[in-house]
Chain A
Amino acid sequence: MKPTDIAAPDYFHKVVDCQWACPAHTPVPEYIRLIAQGRYSDAYMINWKSNVFPGILGRTCDRPCEPACRRGRVEENPVAICRLKRVAADFKDDIRQRLPKPGPKNGKRVALVGGGPASLTVARDLAPLGYHCTVFDADPEAGGMMRTQIPKFRLPNSVIDEETGYILGLGVEFKGGHRIDSMKALLAEKYDAIFVGSGAPRGRELELPGRKEAAANIHIGIEWLANVSFGHVDKIGKRVIVLGGGNTAMDCCRTARRLGGEKVTVVVRSGFDEMKASPWEKEDAIHEDIPILNYMVPVAFKHVAGKLIGVTFQHVKAEYDAKGRRNLVPSGDPDQTIPCDDVLVAVGQENAFPWIEQDCGIEFDKWHMPKVDPKTFASTNPKVFFGGDAAFGPKNIIWAVAHGHDAALSIHKMLSGEAVDERPLPEVQISSQKMGIHEWSYDNDISPDKRYKVPHRDKVVALKDIRAEVELGYDVKLALGEAHRCLNCDVQTVFSTSLCIECDACVDICPMDCITFTANGEESDLRQRLKAPSAHPDQDLYVSSDLKTGRVMVKDEDVCLHCGLCAERCPTGAWDMQKYFIEMTHAGSTCPTKSRSAA
């Protein structure tokens, strides 16, 4: 193998698994260390810069960082990254002085369609640069799906108000209760750029026999949640069936439990493990006495005299064809009818752009989705950009934020006369953490603690009040314990070939057997000759240039604890622990532009 080029920003970025997995590339270990030091406001600001909604995401994020967390490869559970983010939001001081100020107006106007996370992120990035941003939303308040679809017992209004308020406070104009009905009309208003962040607002229908007849008691999940959110709906029947296995289904069933649903059942086509809902959301539903029934496909709504009385299901089983694709085939068991008073349909969401006329210069593909460049988020109309669920279909908040940053960058470049498809490099700082012979500026003593549970409100109390937040968040002590579980993966092991005397001290001390000195070879061959087996080929090998004996140093990054013992036991300082801080370049930064790869 060729010696690893650690100067390439992506190499060490990939080692910080959580940050690499985060669509917005939040510097996770950095803010966790700040939490451990009690510097909650600093931790909050790092988050705020990257992901815009730390308080909201700390309660609702889909957490792509956690399955990626290295701790999950070392023991059972990853660090509770998401809930630590909430800690930063909960315990911070007043940070308003630290927010950017609205810049002097540059005379350019940007229209943002939809007041959800994608649009607000674009506005956050552009307003301080002097753009006049106008956000349009059909709802009276900003927040989009964060406000309408996520139940208040998971995300209180106060958090949404605070964090959307920070953005609107940058001089962003918000036009609530103003639905955009025509792209053509909007284009005619001569905005310099238009960003569409209107989400995936339509709940998928379930056309089965009885749907029309029993319509009064069959509700589309996201619409019903929005109605609950705005107080238009405040009760439901005692027996409720929720159809669907995603996070919306979990929100529906738990909301139903709080509005009078005594016997709430979730019924899902697929198996439990294949359900789209996050594992913790399933756990929370089960904890609230909601059974989840799997491998049952709805076939008909049963009704008597226009009144819904139940849903009939066919039992299925999973069969896999030669290509490993799953097919659900009837299991042969007789159909089952589950009696109920109301049904909530949460079987998916769809994009809908009836308001974009065909002759706007915006092309659509065969799935009726706009043609959007995945890097620049530009549509085929150079002035119109898309982001969030509106761009590539339903994802989640953190993706919308990431799209927003990229779209804002594109808009800024376009309006500054720069090439939109030339993307800036991330900003990288790397510095040694050595304080003394065996002292480091980070806590390298690895905590053996298991993942700490987040305290929950008592179930009886929680189920009585739909606005009572179920998760109480970590207190300071629990947060400190959980923060110590972080392995500081951003403090990198950096190797200097010229200093190494091949004494083997690092090999002997490494608790994870990460380091091997051996003859060089092809990667597949080298992976066979490591001191401990290489279980994850997607994790890079760090290879040195040739050493004095002709061998090379090979480090499998996979399960390195970043404990720094290799550097402590190295007599010549050939190993050093260096903190690698990487930040994505947002609109308005002066970072050099050079096309970069994946990150």
Chain B
Amino acid sequence: MTYIAKPKFHHPGLKKNSLGYTHRDYEGKISTLCAGCGHDSITASIIEACYELSIEPHRVAKISGIGCSSKTPDYFLGNSHGFNSVHGRMPSVLTGANLANRDLIYLGVSGDGDSASIGFGQFAHSIRRGVNMTYIVENNGVYGLTKGQFSATADRGSKSKKGVTNTDNAIDLVAMALQLGATFVARSFSGDKSQLVPLIAAAIGHKGASFIDVISPCIAFNNHAGSTKSFDYVREHNDAVNRLDVLVGRDPIAVDYAPGTVQVVEQHDGSKIALRKIDADYDPHDRLGAQTFLARHAAKGQIVTGLLYVDPDAEDLHEHLNTVETPLNALEADTLCPGSAVLDKINASLR
């Protein structure tokens, strides 16, 4: 653990976003995770994405559960709202917060233990309900805080640091998210920020349940030969289907790729995603195709990354429930509680 605070000095030539902030203004406290933890790179990617989108920090709510991954919201967006909830309960806290105030940007940060074991049900229901959020799983395949036992996402046949082989089947959270109806599904790698940063930015712009599974090597317990979540293994088996650029607002779209290889996806907030195809046959609008593609490549031991599925016309939970536009904290008392006469009327209509 580093004992000194990160110096406030920054590079004098650092660029500022449209709010006048540098990327340093989106940092939080210094990380207390192990040196070299993949999670710190995901933290840096979230910082970079929020900086590039010129997000006002007070408009973000970052919510997490328990685990190494769930400690990370302390390390980014030091001026945002935060809630470090009970183990596995991030999705319900986030859903509640989102229902009460739909004006904030919701970042759910979780890990493979928090989402694939104790919080598996919570994960499933928040996705199937279409809560408008960016759900990031920092997936290292082990329980790092308790010294490296296999988690539910550890691949069958992979080996622990001590050489024990995992005999359980792995949960693929991306496959689950696709099956549960997430409207933005991606996988990335903490060691590839050029892919991860635009994915996070695009997910934040998506209205609906966005899910990103980020493979994040655990330096202390899962970065050895025999691991399928090590830097070396992921780099060797990474099969990216596409790369993307997020084009925000007034910035001119200047994409100079060969025609036919770039697909532009317009998002709810007006931003555009320019998808550069790597795999010519891959269609990110075909949920069924994505599931098959994923299963086929998983069988070959490949890790498919990129934007795997997106539905640009997705609806979110608020639309399903037809809730009021105004956040609850901005409603007057008489609107929130219209009185017994209105209640009687409602009750009468149900008789």
A interface residues, Cβ below 8 angstroms from B: 73-75, 438, 444-446, 448, 501-505, 507-509, 511-514, 532-533, 535, 548-549, 559, 561, 563, 565, 568-572
Contact = CB atoms under 8 A, between A and B. Distances in A.
B11 A559 contact: yes
A75 B9 contact: yes
B40 A505 contact: yes
Contact of A503 (B8, B30, B191): B191
A446 to B, nearest CB: 4
B20 interface: no
Interface residues of B, number: 36
Contacts of A568: 2, 35
Interface string B212-237: 00000101000100000001100100
Given A512-B9, A569-B35, 17 more contacts: A438-B3, A445-B4, A448-B9, A503-B38, A503-B191, A504-B191, A505-B41, A508-B41, A509-B30, A511-B8, A513-B10, A532-B13, A549-B235, A568-B35, A570-B36, A571-B35, A572-B36
A511 B12 CA distance: 11
Given A446-B7, A504-B191, A549-B235, A569 B40 contact: yes
B133 to A, nearest CB: 24
A503 B193 contact: no
Contacts of A507: 44
Interface string B1-44: 11111111111111100000000100000110011111011011
A75 B11 CA distance: 10
B304 to A, nearest CB: 19
Nearest to B47: A508
Nearest to A567: B35
24 contacts: A74-B9, A75-B9, A438-B1, A438-B2, A438-B3, A444-B4, A501-B223, A503-B38, A503-B219, A504-B41, A504-B191, A505-B35, A505-B37, A508-B41, A509-B2, A509-B31, A532-B14, A533-B13, A548-B232, A559-B11, A561-B7, A569-B36, A571-B34, A572-B36
Contacts of A570: 35-36
Contacts of A535: 12-13
A565 B6 contact: yes
Interface of B: 1-15, 24, 30-31, 34-38, 40-41, 43-44, 190-191, 193, 217, 219, 223, 231-232, 235
A502 B231 contact: yes
Contacts of B31: 509, 569
Nearest to A568: B2
Contacts of A508: 40-41, 43-44
A571 B35 CA distance: 5
Contact of A569 (B2, B11, B13): B2
A149 to B, nearest CB: 39
7 tightest A-B contacts by CB? A571-B36, A446-B7, A532-B11, A508-B44, A533-B13, A445-B4, A503-B36
A501 B43 contact: no
A561 B223 CA distance: 30
A438 to B, nearest CB: 6
